[in-house]
Structure 1
Amino acid sequence: MSTRLVQITMKARDDAALGAFWAKALGWGLASEGPGVTNLEPEGFGYPDPSAVCVDLVVSSEPKTVKNRVHVDLATTSPEHQAELVARLTELGATPVDIGQGDVPFTVLADPEGNEFCVLEPRPIYRDTGPIAAVVVDCADPREMARFWGEATDWTVHEVTDRHASLRSAAGVGPYLEFVRNPDPKTGWNRVHLDVRPYPGADLAAEAARLETLGATRVDLGRADIPWTVLTDPEGNEFCLLTPA
């Protein structure tokens, strides 16, 4: 059996307000499954589907203190589209940020709560991904991360080097999952994390055990009231194993 990446979850001081920003940024629909949770997905989307990785925003009082280790890259189709998108996002409340990127062709912004993201220059590889080109994870060892996530999910590994690795859904649609080498150590819980979901009929406990044999570590939250399982990947990045669907 295997899992697949279905969404990312982002902590937010105000999930509704931040959700409204991202819904407008992506052109997606906005809903809520309960107080303190805002859900974003494309209009008319049949969750889960590999054509998109959805976004959940969950209310949290924890302050943002360091650069996020997980962020999204947004796709553009032309230099004009890139400039227009940056201008529109700025009007919505995004701000330019310097994370040491230097002179690069993409633009680094932060959303209204300070979460970093990139607006990429046009790149042919992302021409059919939808608004999110890639979900990007900082890491020490892209090769090991590609090994783990390639075996943990049914996503296909497309590139592996010492500095960068990329995967995409087995269906060849939707955004990429990318791992970029970064020497900065992980500190504290990630403000943005990945959520994976097994296919219908899978056994959740068996899937959690399989992931542990691949190098995941189970996290005990001391709660018996949640139906999902929290684990960390080989570099300590938290992720949730959701119920099969």
Structure 2
Amino acid sequence: MTSHLYAISVDAWEPLRLARFWAELLGRGVVDDPREGVALQPDGDAGLRIRFMPTEVPKTVQNRIHFDLTSASPQAQRDTVDRALTLGGRHIDIGQGPDDDQVVLADPEGNEFCVIEAGNNFLAGCGPVGAVNCDGTRAAGLFWSEALGWPLVWDQDEETAIQSPRGGAKVTWSGPPLMPSGGRDRVHLDLIADGDRDAEVDRLLALGATRAGTGEHTADDVVLADPDGTEFCLLTPR
């Protein structure tokens, strides 16, 4: 038994406005999510579902999870950055060096993301969203590989990455040291069990997850945390 990744969910003060920013940036449409909030239209069979959920909680710290966007050429990278700025994004400093080839931006609600330089071989063929970049240890990467049944595609020097057998974006963990936690993460992974949910909760706990409460958006959702304490949701079956 495993879970499958339902969505990367982003808590937002104005879900529709933020969804429109990302839709314009990625060239996707906006649709109502079958469960709650609004979502971007999937980008092919292996494309990530990205959905935006209402919250009134302010953003106080850097997100533990962010998107890495790919670039087909140096001009395409510049075009993506210009489009993001025109749509309401902004440049931010998270400690990157002056020689970094990636461009670090924030969306209109302050969620960090990176526009990766052209020619990045690690993200080649992953699509416009090349990676869901997570702050986390190797233990977290190994946990998520088992939780989702996705193979490790990188495991070196405390850095790990997994990818669906169907391809698409990689999910990466950058290794220690970890950023301080600011409570509930504004960007988090939502899973759905492929079978009995109670049995799946037990399996995830045995793999190293811990219970973290009930869902903010739907009371019946189970909130767990991975070995690093990063929260994720196991959604109510429908």
TM-score, normalised relative to structure 2: 0.91
Deviation at 1:243, TM superposition (A): 4.6
Cα distance in 2 for partners of 1:148, 1:185 equals 20
Cα distance in 2 for partners of 1:240, 1:216 equals 11
Match of residue 214 from structure 2: 221
| Structure 2 unaligned residues grouped into runs of 5+ | none
Alignment check: 8 A CA contact 2:223 2:231 kept: yes
Q: Which amino acid counterpart does residue 15 of structure 2 have in structure 1?
A: D
Match of residue 117 from structure 2: 121
Q: Which amino acid counterpart does residue 129 of structure 1 have in structure 2?
A: C
Match of residue 42 from structure 2: 42
Secondary structure, in 3 states, of the residue corresponding to 1:22?
helix
Q: RMSD across aligned C-alpha pairs, in angstroms? A: 2.2
Tell me whether 1:179 sits opposite 2:176 in the alignment.
no
Structure 2 residue corresponding to 1:72, chosen from 58, 63, 67 = 67
Map Cα deviations across residues 131-151 of structure 1 (whole Å, 9 max, x no partner): 100001112x2x211211111
**Pairs within 5 Å for 1:145-184:** 145-171=140-166, 173-183=167-177, 184=179
Cα distance in 2 for partners of 1:222, 1:144 equals 24
TM-score, normalised relative to structure 1: 0.88
Structure 1 residue corresponding to 2:186, chosen from 184, 191, 202 = 191
Match of residue 80 from structure 2: 85
Deviation at 1:218, TM superposition (A): 1.8
Match of residue 5 from structure 1: 5
| Structure 1 unaligned residues grouped into runs of 5+ | none
Secondary structure, in 3 states, of the residue corresponding to 2:214?
coil
Deviation at 1:221, TM superposition (A): 2.7
Q: Which amino acid counterpart does residue 94 of structure 1 have in structure 2?
A: G
Alignment check: 8 A CA contact 2:92 2:106 kept: yes
Map Cα deviations across residues 14-46 of structure 1 (whole Å, 9 max, x no partner): 011001001111111211248971111236x5x
Match of residue 96 from structure 1: 91
Tell me whether 1:241 sits opposite 2:237 in the alignment.
no
How many aligned positions are there? 235
Alignment check: 8 A CA contact 1:77 1:127 kept: no
Cα distance in 1 for partners of 2:202, 2:36 equals 30
Secondary structure, in 3 states, of the residue corresponding to 2:224?
strand
Alignment check: 8 A CA contact 1:52 1:174 kept: yes
Q: Percent identity?
A: 40
Cα distance in 2 for partners of 1:37, 1:91 equals 25
Tell me whether 1:112 sits opposite 2:108 in the alignment.
yes
Alignment check: 8 A CA contact 1:15 1:36 kept: no
Higher mean C-alpha displacement, 14-23 vs 118-127? 118-127
